[in-house]
Structure 1
Amino acid sequence: MGVAHAAEESADAFIKRMSTETLDTIKADKALRNGDVSKIIQLVDSKVMPNVNFKRMTALATGPAWRKATPEQQKRLQDEFKLLLVRTYSGALSQVSDQSVVVKPLRPGQDDKNLVVNTEVRGKGDPIQLDYRLEKTPGEGAGWMIFDLNVLGVWLIENYRSQFTKEINAGGIDALINSLAERNKANAQKS
């Protein structure tokens, strides 16, 4: 898809396309369906992460302390948070079998800087609510970028912000970075 086309794509069409491409890739690859974490991480990195404003997501989850962090601390925090989210998302993706994504109609009058697209992942069992908070990015490579997710009624940024605030209050940004790194090491040993 060309850049000009991507810039004109509606937010709901963008989410439908990205979700469908990701699910189709999983369904076609036995290693992905069997929960091969390294392959799932590659898939998330190639299909999902280019569509995520990860700096904004990390800054929002970190709260006011983000602005006080050094550029190096911000980068480390972003890297550890991304790994945590990719591994969390990977666990869900390894459960994919016959699911499909249904995008609900957009609520009218939303702002392009904070637009919510509501979806349901349908398959066996109850549908799973998965909502995306998006912003439209201008300029070269313009298009929609995800900066928050709502899974089963819980917004990711709100959820992590309370955890991150506790860590920062207890020991500062470095304590939060170290805590995330330890959690990522523990998760890597499980997989």
Structure 2
Amino acid sequence: MLARFLSLLAILAATAFGAGASPALESGTPDALIQKVGTEMIERIKADKAIQGGDFQKLSTLVDELVMPHVNFQRMTALAAGRWWRQATPEQQKQLMDEFRIMLLRTYSGALASVEDQSIRMKPMRAAADATDVIVRSEIVQPRGEPIQLDYRLHKVDSAWKIYDVNVLGVWLVETYRTQFGQEAARNGVDGLIKSLADKNRQFDPNKKS
């Protein structure tokens, strides 16, 4: 199940913030945010040969610039870590966020660099006008094969919408990582979880020091 989920996330990474032709959406709505950020993300990747060639640093910079301002990554990490987040010190929480972000980027950077003809078809919003926590539903449309379900959880922070979870074919990213993180932390504590993530990241970058 996990292997299939990760393979689907590779497709997700290539299109997670990308949108194809869709009707105009009301400015300031969560689905409009997904569409707007996605369009620019796709265009920037397609125009940047270095990213397409696997330049991780440029990809990281692009994600920080375009995507991360619209993600509540602290909440995403806290939900993934579960009760272990509450037991972590502020420094441990920062380390968890840093290593989790690097792991996600490095795991899916190849798919991000290979954006081609995929697009996203937005589905109608089903939320109350005054809702502050919503699910934006969409489908990935591929040149070949069936559309893939792709949904986002967002919540409102002051006047801004922030993404904090993503769903591919009915499986939420946070839930999947919560299982992995919980198993590692149960064996080796919060420091062990941080070390496990750092070790995985070093597999991508042998020059990274402990």
Give the TM-score range, shorter chain.
0.7 to 0.9
Q: How many residues end up aligned between the 2 structures?
A: 179
In structure 2, how many angstroms separate the alpha carbons of the residues matched to 1:179 and 1:143? 33
Aligned equivalent of 2:61: 42
Cα offset for 1:111?
7.1
Distance in 2, matches of 1:35 and 1:122, equals: 24
Q: Distance in 2 between matches of 1:34 and 1:120?
A: 27
Shift of the alpha carbon at 1:64? 1.0
Structure 2 vs 1, CA of residues 173 and 162 (structure 1 numbering), >3 Å: closer, same or farther? same
**Residue 76 (str. 1) matches residue 90 (str. 2):** no
Cross-structure match for 1:123: 142
Give the gaps of 5 or more residues in structure 2. 1-26
Q: TM-score, normalised by structure 2?
A: 0.79
Counterpart secondary structure, 2:163: strand
| C-alpha contact (below 8 Å) 1:133/1:147 kept by paired residues | yes
The whole-number CA distance in structure 1 between the counterparts of 2:83 and 2:199 is 23
Are 1:35 and 1:95, in contact at CA under 8 Å, matched by a contact in 2?
Answer: no
Paired residue secondary structure (2:153):
strand
The answer to whether the aligner puts 1:153 opposite 2:170 as a matched pair is yes
Counterpart contact for 2:85–2:93, Cα < 8 Å: yes
- In 1: Cα distance, 2:87 partner to 2:62 partner: 33
- 1:98 deviates by 2.1
Counterpart secondary structure, 1:101: strand
CA drift of 1:152 comes to 3.5
Q: CA RMSD in A?
A: 1.8
1:100-139 superposed matches below 5 A: 100-109=119-128, 112-126=131-145, 127-138=147-158
Question: TM-score, structure 1 length as denominator?
Answer: 0.86
For structure 1, the residue ranges without an aligned partner over 5 or more in a row are: 1-7
Q: CA deviation at 1:21?
A: 1.0
CA shift for structure 1 position 130: 2.1
Describe the SS at the equivalent of 1:174.
helix
Aligned to 1:164: 181
Code of the aligned partner of 2:72: N
CA distance in 2, matches of 1:89, 1:48: 14
Structure 1 segment 5-84 matched on structure 2, within 5 A? 9-84=28-103
- Work out whether residues 62 and 161 of structure 1, in 8 Å CA contact, stay in contact via their aligned partners in 2: yes
State, as a whole percentage, how many aligned pairs show the same letter.
53
In 2, Cα distance between equivalents of 1:17 and 1:82: 22
1:122 CA drift (Å): 2.3
* Distance in 1 of aligned mates of 2:130 and 2:191: 35
